[in-house]
Structure 1
């Protein structure tokens, strides 16, 4: 059975809650995981234990403003600006470097968007050779069709974020929109670590990152070698079409794959109970297939 280890990662005066899932045997690879909006690292069901059971060591943390990294009510949703969000992720990744086994980075929803922004930030181009592959689960690139906020709403929200950056605002998606499993819906509503709160600054940053990605203004660094993106066609949290379009634009990355989950909702890791192992093993298979010579993958056709 995989071993679960809790801890903290200190950045300045802030302590972030961390958790690792370690295989019984020496790991074949390491995965750094970035969770989504209004979420925390303990809500990923069988994904991390399954990866660990297949030899992939998993490390994650509750981002600033979320989960057990929140220690005061006024810290709920207090992520800071995008520069802080990304530097937190980089700090956590570097804690696990150098590594004797290949390192992969995976992000879900908001965390998927953050992962892509990190991989596109020239400031962190020197980190790219240390990351063997980037994995995206239902990343936030745009809103689903029919759920886009109006232009005036977005403008006023960004303006308010400049003057009242720490003002909190209830910003949760309906739990029923995230998964088809009624038991997971129930647990989302009852989870005391899910506070449904964002700050104006954090929400503005979320929108800004999505705009950079959807408009093609964020360009992946040259050192990005491999990308896998999985998205459900019935996602009501983020846009399946935006993910498809974004992946088709990444022609400079020869080893890339877009995986469609027909009929699945936003949380692929917490979809119907029978499907969770399918998703977890898809991720594990992709990682384990990239532990050998890279030229095998670089010369193969991208699966889009």
Structure 2
């Protein structure tokens, strides 16, 4: 009987959805050396990589992926700083060292935090060009923000394997399973199956380190996956409406995101004629941290300095690798 009661309790604990949207404004947003302070007073831990021995000539504001945090950009941040580009990255709400980790904040809140961060970076570096860089989920947040009614003022965006996978791009069974789970046990935490044969990078040591990192979330609440799906759907719909020059990066070995929505997104990016799409033959989902991630970082730095110059890696001539995958 005791086991039955415990089992029922565990089941019921997953029956309530939880969110943490932005609260009412109570202060002016601010950027300290260690945190972004949002208008509702919420503190988002911040990391920064600044050039040594001189002022930067450009700034990148970077957004991490799902269940990750700002440390995702440590390698890229150091490399870009060595090229004279200042890099800022913060833990998005519900991730990293923020309060209430694992609880989804909602697309509007993620976008509002991004806009506040852009404003503060401009205030910190007046007159310098500012670029947004989003990896995976971070790329989806960038797309949502840049196609909103009041997009942030930036010179361009760098989308690293942006997460574009809404409901209309899902198969019937994944969509039905998500609907059923959200409507019955939204608070249940699920973990990827151990036999799931999806590889995010060829950098195995890095992946093992992420598994040991206490700030990397290992499981996901169903309601967080529901919110992520909404965000990715918004991002997919936004791809054909991005107006600022953008560098869109994917790996030929992309396994985290399905082929169909990725190719649909790339076609939309290419339709405007103002964006550069690059596909790396040795690249995976976590392009910046792959074994050949430095090649990607070098392309990013060169594109920021001259977006009209062909990429030295030649990845901007590899579109067919992704389509044929």
TM-score under structure 1 normalisation? Answer: 0.80
Please list, as runs of the form range in 1=range in 2, the aligned pairs for 1:113-262 lying within 5 A after superposition: 113-122=140-149, 124-125=150-151, 127=152, 130-142=153-165, 150-159=174-183, 164=186, 167=187, 169-171=189-191, 177-214=199-236, 216=237, 220=241, 224-239=243-258, 241-250=260-269, 253-262=272-281
CA distance in structure 2 between the partners assigned to 1:89 and 1:288 by the alignment: 23
Work out whether residues 52 and 58 of structure 1, in 8 Å CA contact, stay in contact via their aligned partners in 2.
yes
Indicate the structure with greater strand content. 1
Structure 2: 5+ residue runs without aligned partners? Answer: 1-31, 311-315, 320-325
Shift, 1:175, TM fit: 10
Work out whether residues 64 and 70 of structure 2, in 8 Å CA contact, stay in contact via their aligned partners in 1.
yes
Deviations 1:118-170 (A, max 9, x none): 11112x24x3xx21111100111129xxx966221132245458xx5xx2523
Aligned residues: 273
The equivalent position to 1:18 in structure 2, one of 46, 55, 75, is: 46
Larger RCO (CA under 8 A, 6+ residues apart):
1
CA distance in structure 1 between the partners assigned to 2:232 and 2:254 by the alignment: 16
Please list, as runs of the form range in 1=range in 2, the aligned pairs for 1:36-51 lying within 5 A after superposition: 36-51=65-80
| Larger of the two Rg values belongs to structure | 2
Tell me the secondary structure at the aligned position of residue 179 of structure 1. coil
Equivalence for 2:64 = 35
TM-score under structure 2 normalisation? Answer: 0.75
CA distance in structure 1 between the partners assigned to 2:197 and 2:63 by the alignment: 20
> Is it true that 1:280 corresponds to 2:297 in the alignment?
yes
Structure 1: 5+ residue runs without aligned partners? Answer: none
Equivalence for 1:97 = 122
> Is it true that 1:63 corresponds to 2:92 in the alignment?
yes
CA distance in structure 2 between the partners assigned to 1:160 and 1:13 by the alignment: 33
